[in-house]
Amino acid sequence: MNNKAVVITGASSGLGVEFAKQFAGRNFDLVLTARSENKLNELARELEGKHGINVHIVPLDLSRSGSAKKLYEAVKALEVTAEILINNAGFGLFGEFEDTEMQKELDMIEVNITALTELTKYFGKDMVARKSGKILNVASTAAFQPGPLMAVYYATKAYVLSLSEALANEWNDSGVKVAALCPGATETGFSNTAELGQSKLFQSGVMQADEVVAQAVKSLLETNKTVIVPGFKNKMLANSIRFMPRKMVTSVVRKVQERI
């Protein structure tokens, strides 16, 4: 298998579309996965026509158990080498824990944690064996503190950050790079899915998806950073939290997350 490609999950909207566009602009072949086959087909046609690359689509719902293994096997069947894995798929849910829907939170854990872990394991083992590859796991500035009113989401992103930092250390000498992207509030479809549109967090200024992805791709390809925090305000937030008492941090997050 000589054809190298970038595998991108959650590729039909938001950051996923931007990752596809920006890697295509760098002449990478792509394997795109998401639930919406129509959106994937449309994006594939656009990128192949504009950049002359090969784009494969694998429609899957990563909240379904076993889907991560199906994606890995589909990539193998395509006879392409996953040189870069972008674990971008994920979603959130806003509300007090006793009121939020259990199934949505279990699906969130399946996508944000379980599928991400499986894909990192499957593709990561191959990368270690050939001593080449890069994995970018999309976490969030939510990973740095507890998140009242989005308790499960914040916890999933803390897991993603912790896993990524640990594997970056384990695979440091293997030729495989692992990094975590930790964006703050970003203009994507995320706030609608998470029912966050009226929260103070998303009313206080957000980054554009193309800005976030541009910084992420540049850092992944050109630096040795393990934790990528795009945007000055987000960097300040991530760094300042380390010096604040945990109870204070939790209270501040609660106030920021509340609906206006």
Give me the active site residues, please.
153, 157
Span between the terminal Cα atoms of the chain, in Å? 53
Helix or strand or coil: residue 83? strand
Q: In 3-state terms, the chain is what percent helix, strand and coil (to 5)? A: 55, 15, 30
Asked whether the beta carbons of 223 and 162 are under 8 A apart, the reply is no
The token pair that represents 11 in the structure block: 């590729």
Amino acid at 226: T
User: What is the distance between the alpha carbons of residues 243 and 230, in angstroms, rounded to a whole number?
Assistant: 20
Amino acid at 104: K
User: What is the distance between the alpha carbons of residues 250 and 57, in angstroms, rounded to a whole number?
Assistant: 41
